[in-house]
Copies of this chain bind each other. A is one copy, B any other.
């Protein structure tokens, strides 16, 4: 199970393949991408050491709360253009409800608790922390 904050692109296929478990028939993946709101991209910054610890804690809580077999989280940092991946969360479970609930829980907790920030870079060059 990977918890990773990275400035590199990642492969969804590899992460989903690595998340498969013989005793888990349901895999739910959330992919957050840079949405085109009249921006040219975002810059993502993290307090990396703390964010990685917090992501691992969130994973452990999700595993304990839902009937999950695995949770993976990859969060990008650095400059990302419109359409590029920001975050991927993969949750596997024996049953679909647990996989959906677990994946969504991890996403909500990341937004609330992980020290990560995004700055929008507008097409006119303006910038805004969001």
A interface residue numbers (CB < 8 A to B)? 11-13, 16, 20, 22-36, 82-83, 94, 96, 99-100, 103-104, 107
Contact A22 B96 (CB under 8 A): no
The residues of B that contact A94 with a CB separation of less than 8 Å are 35
Answer whether A33 and B23 are a contact pair too, CB < 8 Å, given A16-B12, A96-B107.
Answer: no
Q: DSSP class of A's interface residues: helix, strand, loop or mixed?
A: mixed
The residues of B that contact A27 with a CB separation of less than 8 Å are 29-33
Q: How far is the CA of A94 from the CA of B34 in the complex (A)?
A: 10
Contact B31 A16 (CB under 8 A): yes
Q: How far is the CA of A16 from the CA of B20 in the complex (A)?
A: 18
The residues of B that contact A13 with a CB separation of less than 8 Å are 11-13
